[in-house]
Chains A and B, each alone.
Chain A
Amino acid sequence: MERAKKELQKYGLIYLTIIVVFFANVVWGMSFATRPSYVYDWEGILTEEEVLEIDTLCRDIDINTTIEIVIVTLVSYDEPLKVAGIDEARVKYFNEYALDGVTGIGKEGEDNGILVILSTAMADYGIEVGYGLEGDLTDSECGRIGRDIINKYYKDEDYLSMFYEAVEAIGEEVGYGEPDVSSEPGPNLDGQDGTIKFYAIVIAIIGGGILIMILYIRDQDRKRREREERRRRARREALRASPPPPPKPVYRYVQCPTCDTKRKAKQKKAKTKEFVEDETIFSVLFLTLACLVCGTIITDARNRRRIETTTERQERRKREREDEEERRKRMEEIRERRREREDDDDDDYHSSFSSWGRSSSFGGGGGRSGGGGASGRLGR
């Protein structure tokens, strides 16, 4: 009885360890589950550093308030989505287009996303507000942000200030930076992450249960075998101690070599017994380690935080230089384009896109909007 109780305690402890380790890992991974990126500068009007600066602000807003503010600069209304105008572009890019594999801006169920879409080529801008924020960021406030911030900086071609201040103004409207919000810093674990957390618990409980079952069955099996072995040994000892049974020459002849080998096998087992006893603990340690490693890999993949090798760094620098070159060229094209547009109002500008549609499994996304917000013409 005492033994059984002890056994139960041991397995309960192992089970709990597995659940806790797995769950902690998943949650830790989840806490970084934000959008892969917030700024999609397809027109190339921002430098890498400027993109990073705006992206950091947007990410901070997401982490603190779970609100996703995404910025898109469109080259034309024909690609990547064919839309009729800025109003349709707002709704379509907000709800239907997969930005880095994430469709829908804002958290699912909360619909707390905002899209700032702009096209210097088409001279249009728009702000689309998710259903969940229509009360906080009204159409007139969007219109004001458009007129007072976007158009103001457009004249100076100061796109960094334009987007940065627009995002700041939007953040102010939706409660970013207020003490009651910032007093609870830390990872966002609300919204759809809650469902994932729930699944993580379920998986941990079921998976842990199965593992424990396997361990338990194996252990029991081994113990049963050991018991049988002991019983057999005892029987043989008894047999040897008691007066020999009526002699049966043939039987004894067969019995002897078997007995010998069996005794050898027995001794071998007895030697390894302690090690076998430890096997359970080793497997638990191994599992814990495996969980940790898996969690770390997942988390790292989520954050794309990789340690670079020297060659990789060189390649990246080279790529960055090339990107910079390309950006400068595109910038030139856009300026050219705008000059042309000022001459005649006919627009059919196309440009090739280099990198979008990287599919990934990041968090966030799934919010919906219904046409709330404002649009306007640039340069007025």
Chain B
Amino acid sequence: MRKERGYTTRNAILITVGAVVGIVILFGAIYITTYNSLVHTDESVKAGWAEVQNQYQRRYDLLPPLVNATKMYINYEQSVLTEITEMRSAWTQSLNQPVEQQMDTMNQFDSTMNRLLAIVSVESYPELKADGTVMTLMDQVEGTENRIAVARGRYIVDVRSYNNAVRGFFSGIVARNMGLELRPTFAAVQGAEEGIKIPIG
């Protein structure tokens, strides 16, 4: 009788210890997986943001040669040229600022860019089509605008999944331990992913 009870007690202890160890291992495994996936998402958001910045930089690098090449066909108003200069300097300055302000600057000058490209269009200046340099530059500008749209769209998707992970129940706890915070995103403008339509032949 006594011996039997001894057995049951020992079994109970063994089972408890086993269960605790099992739970700890399971928990640890889930924690590690969540940690890894958070690191992965965080990195892809960072890479996405770098791509957005990279493409914007490309846009502003292309502006002076475009203006120069089209100057002989288009009689720019002074206000347009000033706006372009402003746009570039605002962009350069915003690079040292937090992400939210960079986004503001980006959004603010997207419309300016639109207007500029509407001026430099083959529709209004058919003679541009004959100029090889202009056509080459226009192709590049168009490509850049398209790339900006794609990079922005992908960044929005990445940040959405990242923010979901940071807000989530278990992953949120892990994220807090890692010191991750919610990241700002672009307001998804209707049709932003299509890019800007440039009327070009």
- B65 contacts A by Cβ under 8 Å: no
Contact A88 B139 (CB under 8 A): no
User: From residue A78, how far is it (CB to closest CB) to chain B in Å?
Assistant: 15
Contact B147 A372 (CB under 8 A): yes
Please tell me the number of chain A residues within 8 Å of chain B, measured between CB atoms: 22
> What string of 1s and 0s marks CB contacts (under 8 Å) between A69-110 and chain B?
000000000000000110110110000000000000000000
Q: Output the nearest chain B residue to A129 by Cβ-Cβ distance.
A: B143
- A371 contacts B by Cβ under 8 Å: yes
Contact B136 A87 (CB under 8 A): no
Contact A142 B139 (CB under 8 A): yes
Looking at chain A's contact residues, the main secondary structure is mixed
Contact B135 A143 (CB under 8 A): yes
Contact B143 A371 (CB under 8 A): yes
Segment at the A interface, from B84-92, B175-183, B188-196:
B188-196
- B149 contacts A by Cβ under 8 Å: yes
- B146 contacts A by Cβ under 8 Å: yes
Give the residue of B139, B146, B154 whose beta carbon is less than 8 angstroms from that of A140: B139
Contact A139 B194 (CB under 8 A): no
Contact B146 A87 (CB under 8 A): yes
| CA–CA, A147 and B134, complex, Å | 14
> What string of 1s and 0s marks CB contacts (under 8 Å) between A129-153 and chain B?
0000000001110111001000000
> What string of 1s and 0s marks CB contacts (under 8 Å) between B33-57 and chain A?
0000000000000000001000000
Q: Output the nearest chain B residue to A126 by Cβ-Cβ distance.
A: B146
| CA–CA, A319 and B191, complex, Å | 42
In the complex, chain A residues whose CB is within 8 Å of the CB of B195: 87-88, 371
Within 8 A of B (CB), among A322-340: none
Looking at chain B's contact residues, the main secondary structure is helix
A87-B195, A138-B140, A143-B136 given as contacts; is B146 within 8 A of A377 (CB)? no
Give the residue of B140, B149, B200 whose beta carbon is less than 8 angstroms from that of A371: B149
Q: Output the nearest chain A residue to B200 by Cβ-Cβ distance.
A: A376
- B67 contacts A by Cβ under 8 Å: no
Contact B151 A87 (CB under 8 A): no
- B158 contacts A by Cβ under 8 Å: no
- B106 contacts A by Cβ under 8 Å: no
User: From residue A280, how far is it (CB to closest CB) to chain B in Å?
Assistant: 43
B residues at A contact (CB < 8 Å): 51, 135-140, 142-144, 146-151, 154, 191, 193-195, 197, 200-201
A-B contact pairs, 18 of them (CB 8 A): A87-B149, A91-B150, A138-B143, A139-B143, A139-B144, A140-B135, A140-B136, A140-B140, A142-B143, A144-B135, A370-B51, A370-B147, A370-B151, A371-B149, A372-B147, A373-B146, A374-B142, A376-B201
